[in-house]
Chains A and B, each alone.
Chain A
Amino acid sequence: MSTAVRQPPAAGGTAERKPATLGQALRRAMRDAMADDPDVHIFGEDVGTLGGVFRVTDGLAAEFGPERCADTPLAEAGILGTAVGMAMYGLRPVVEMQFDAFALPGFEQLVSHVSRMRNRTRGRMPMPLTVRVPYGGGIGGVEHHSDSSEAYYMATPGLHVVTPATVADAYGLLRAAIASDDPVVFLEPKRLYWAKADWDPEAPEAVPGIGEAVVRRTGTSATLITYGPSVPVCLEAAEAARAEGWDLEVIDLRSLVPFDEATVTASVRRTGRAVVVHESPGFAGPGGEIAARVTERCFHYLEAPVLRVAGFDIPYPPPMLERHHLPGVDRILDAVARLQWESGWTSRQDTGRGGGAR
């Protein structure tokens, strides 16, 4: 499914692709969704007059009024709980959970109701709501401002878990999330809010829908499987790896649930090696699930165990130490180096599959 929400102008049109930030694309997605559908309501802490602490909802209250883009009391369970009631009545709420760690008071509503209401009511009462959560570190935030909680959400059946890494995806995936009749936890990588790309807000490019991964860089030596804030890091690592003779493929999952097994396994079957990269702690983290699935489905194609480069199994560190925690280029290259390039026992040595240059 594709999300070409706005048709690009006819050939020879005056579409102007100017640098836009990921945050601006998110804002535009909400603006266009509100314009297209009067049932879309945005609310949360500071989203109205202020435009959100990251200014992602800037101008929406002014354009659509304080009832369509509403400041709420400071209470995340209340925000999510009332969103459930609004969805019951047929609205399409989009709520903001200011920071990842501040979303936790709403966890019960999310797990006990948002994720289950469709199932509980045999499809009669869907929950078409979007929960926007700024997540991840790398912005020098003090405690509770840099968490990555995706594993909790992924472990909750009934939720879609989506995370953009590009400006075009920020728009396209958020439009798809708001339009979806399933509840979507929309994880926004904080440190990419200011990442720029050429993008035309009047003619946003179509992007693949929720549940589809995208190969951001093709390669033949090994596959880096990643998402959200780690996508640019992996692309950088792949560039650096060329010096070592490795040609790395980079997959941006875009959606952790549904998980695009087809794209991931097709890539790993081609390259024979895989590393999963994410910021959230490695133990019982998303990488464990992904590595297990890849191993179950690609065992005979693998030249090495699937490795993980993840945040350490520690509470998120203070800002002065966070660079030691976050997966960086060097740590990713170290993992790639451990993908048993020396293994000579395989009968499937195939120069066409690249790698093994060491």
Chain B
Amino acid sequence: MTVLEQPGTHAPASPPAWRPRTEAGPLLPDAEPYRVLGARTGRLPDGSDGSTAPQDGSGTPTPGAEGAAGAGKVKEPDAELLRRLYAAVVQGRRFNEQATALTRQGRLAVYPSSRGQEACQVAAALALREQDWLFPSYRDTLSAVARGVDPVEVLSLLRGDWHHGYDAHRTRVAPLCTPLATQLPHAVGLAHAARLRGDDVAALALVGDGGTSEGDFHEALNFAAVWRSPVVFLVQNNGFAISVPLAKQTAAPSLAHKAVGYGMPGRLVDGNDAVAVHEVLTEALERARSGGGPTLIEAVTYRLEAHTNADDATRYRTEEEVTAWREHDPVTVLERALRQRGLLDEETVTAAAEAAEQQAADLRARMNTEPRPDPMELFTHVYTEPTAQLREQAAQLRAELAAEQATEGGATGEENR
């Protein structure tokens, strides 16, 4: 079978001979968000019995149910993986805090925080192999950092010294993408290209609940399924598209159900359970690599902070809701799980905290230097060769800069006198 060949019939069949092209049943997502850690921890601290659906009537999410239906099948996670995820999640939380602090100090123009979504961010990075690609959106800075990309380079977009700061080919992390869902077809195209070349590469594309309403979400999933591209789509359903809750975004049973319409499997997972997200992602990526095609995963999570530092979340959600989700905080969930398993000694806690603090301190120090972007670079990368018009405009700017410098030099001279 060639790369683009599709299983099943291509010939239109008249109604009596009609058969579905794929059985829908196996594609249906989990009945409840899949959990690994929750399956062991029993009841939520708020006392809920776990029968709550992932959404209440208002369409805003409620923290995941304990004792999910699949609890019996859940296998005990590897201790080493638990430790790695714990260290990464602690570091991720600290990174979010530090980046938010940098906006208050004016060092970042804006920071869309992923506080509360650290389990998804970290699991996404750790589920990938060296040669795989990650396609993050603007809220997924942490996933790139967790993959090992230099945090200062990742924050270039939000600092504003250039639109993008790291080497995407070397890191295999595509540029943070701002127009919603437009990065999804890129992931499909890249994964398709790799498959055409016979390379063992998978792509993981991140998108939010709001992004699933965009046309590019639909087109990307459709192309991926038709081409059977080795790509996995992870929807972080964090409850809100800025202020708009999921109920105003979709009438689908769940976002994961959308997979069925494209002929790919859907998975529903507790997005605050790092182990569950990691497991589901790993399975889906493995399936993609082995020619099984794409998977759509919905991770139910919550954006604990406002959309950005410029947003006021109190206008669209209650403190009670936020508090309930704080009880299901991904860092706490993981911490509790490690403690229950006797994996969290003081040494581990200290080591994780120190590593996180070290990264934050390093980031702070490096972000406190004033970047000096070269204005002349504005013309350098528009085309392979600047056009005659761009060369003229560059000459104009160069003259303006020279005049500015002369004036500044003169002014300094005056002061010195």
Given contacts A89-B190, A89-B194, A257-B387, contact A75 B219 (CB under 8 A): yes
Chain A residues contacting B215 (CB-CB under 8 Å) are 77, 105
> How many whole Å from B91's CB to the nearest CB in chain A?
27
- Is A349 close to B, CB under 8 A? no
Given contacts A75-B219, A89-B193, contact A121 B182 (CB under 8 A): no
- Is A346 close to B, CB under 8 A? no
Given contacts A121-B164, A211-B387, contact A88 B2 (CB under 8 A): no
User: How many residues of A are counted as interface, with CB atoms below 8 angstroms from the partner's CB atoms?
Assistant: 50
With both beta carbons as reference points, the residue of chain B lying nearest to A160 in the complex is identified as B383
Chain A residues contacting B222 (CB-CB under 8 Å) are 73, 75, 78
> How many whole Å from B319's CB to the nearest CB in chain A?
37
Inter-chain contact B388/A91, CB cutoff 8 Å: no
Chain A residues contacting B384 (CB-CB under 8 Å) are 118, 126, 180-182
User: How many residues of B are counted as interface, with CB atoms below 8 angstroms from the partner's CB atoms?
Assistant: 44
Given contacts A81-B184, A120-B175, contact A158 B223 (CB under 8 A): no
- Is A86 close to B, CB under 8 A? yes
Inter-chain contact A112/B2, CB cutoff 8 Å: no
A70 and B387 CA atoms in complex are apart in Å by 34
A65 and B203 CA atoms in complex are apart in Å by 25
With both beta carbons as reference points, the residue of chain B lying nearest to A117 in the complex is identified as B175
> How many whole Å from A169's CB to the nearest CB in chain B?
20
With both beta carbons as reference points, the residue of chain B lying nearest to A158 in the complex is identified as B382
Restricting to B168-209, which residues have a CB under 8 Å from any CB of A? 168-169, 174-175, 179, 182, 184-194, 196-197, 203
Inter-chain contact B186/A84, CB cutoff 8 Å: yes
Restricting to B194-237, which residues have a CB under 8 Å from any CB of A? 194, 196-197, 203, 215-216, 219-220, 222-223, 226
Restricting to B359-417, which residues have a CB under 8 Å from any CB of A? 377, 380-384, 387-389
Restricting to A93-148, which residues have a CB under 8 Å from any CB of B? 105, 108-109, 112-113, 116-126
A357 and B50 CA atoms in complex are apart in Å by 93
A113 and B176 CA atoms in complex are apart in Å by 12
With both beta carbons as reference points, the residue of chain A lying nearest to B190 in the complex is identified as A85
Inter-chain contact B381/A118, CB cutoff 8 Å: yes
Restricting to B5-24, which residues have a CB under 8 Å from any CB of A? 5
> How many whole Å from A144's CB to the nearest CB in chain B?
18
- Is B3 close to A, CB under 8 A? yes
Chain B residues contacting A75 (CB-CB under 8 Å) are 219, 222-223
Chain A residues contacting B184 (CB-CB under 8 Å) are 81
> How many whole Å from B16's CB to the nearest CB in chain A?
27
Inter-chain contact B4/A67, CB cutoff 8 Å: yes
Among B192, B220, B382, the residue within 8 A (CB) of A157 is: B382
Inter-chain contact A88/B179, CB cutoff 8 Å: no
- Is B163 close to A, CB under 8 A? yes
A73 and B223 CA atoms in complex are apart in Å by 7
> How many whole Å from A126's CB to the nearest CB in chain B?
7
A66 and B5 CA atoms in complex are apart in Å by 9
> How many whole Å from B46's CB to the nearest CB in chain A?
42
> How many whole Å from A297's CB to the nearest CB in chain B?
11
Inter-chain contact B168/A88, CB cutoff 8 Å: yes
Given contacts A124-B168, A180-B384, contact A81 B163 (CB under 8 A): no
A84 and B189 CA atoms in complex are apart in Å by 7
Inter-chain contact B185/A81, CB cutoff 8 Å: yes
- Is B97 close to A, CB under 8 A? no
Chain B residues contacting A78 (CB-CB under 8 Å) are 185, 188, 216, 219-220, 222-223
Among B182, B189, B226, the residue within 8 A (CB) of A88 is: B189
- Is A340 close to B, CB under 8 A? no
With both beta carbons as reference points, the residue of chain A lying nearest to B221 in the complex is identified as A78
Inter-chain contact B387/A66, CB cutoff 8 Å: no
> How many whole Å from B250's CB to the nearest CB in chain A?
20
Chain A residues contacting B193 (CB-CB under 8 Å) are 85-86, 88-91
Chain B residues contacting A10 (CB-CB under 8 Å) are none
A126 and B138 CA atoms in complex are apart in Å by 21
Given contacts A89-B190, A123-B381, contact A82 B185 (CB under 8 A): yes
Among A70, A73, A77, the residue within 8 A (CB) of B216 is: A77
> How many whole Å from B403's CB to the nearest CB in chain A?
22
Inter-chain contact A85/B216, CB cutoff 8 Å: no
Inter-chain contact A81/B186, CB cutoff 8 Å: yes
With both beta carbons as reference points, the residue of chain A lying nearest to B392 in the complex is identified as A261
Indicate with 1 or 0, residue by residue over A211-224, a CB within 8 angstroms of chain B CB atoms.
10000000000000
With both beta carbons as reference points, the residue of chain B lying nearest to A48 in the complex is identified as B4
Given contacts A66-B4, A261-B389, contact A88 B186 (CB under 8 A): yes
Inter-chain contact B223/A120, CB cutoff 8 Å: no
- Is B167 close to A, CB under 8 A? yes
Chain A residues contacting B196 (CB-CB under 8 Å) are 41, 67, 91
Extra inter-chain contacts (20) besides given A85-B187, A113-B182, CB under 8 Å: A67-B2, A67-B3, A73-B223, A75-B219, A81-B189, A82-B189, A82-B192, A84-B189, A85-B186, A87-B189, A88-B190, A89-B189, A89-B190, A109-B182, A112-B179, A118-B384, A119-B163, A182-B384, A258-B383, A259-B389
A-B contact pairs, 21 of them (CB 8 A): A66-B2, A66-B4, A73-B222, A73-B223, A75-B219, A75-B223, A78-B223, A80-B185, A81-B188, A85-B187, A88-B168, A89-B189, A89-B190, A91-B196, A118-B384, A120-B175, A180-B384, A182-B383, A182-B384, A259-B389, A261-B388
Tell me the B residues contacting A by CB distance below 8 Å.
Answer: 2-5, 162-164, 167-169, 174-175, 179, 182, 184-194, 196-197, 203, 215-216, 219-220, 222-223, 226, 377, 380-384, 387-389
- CB-based closest 6 A-B pairs: A85-B189, A81-B185, A78-B219, A82-B189, A89-B193, A85-B190
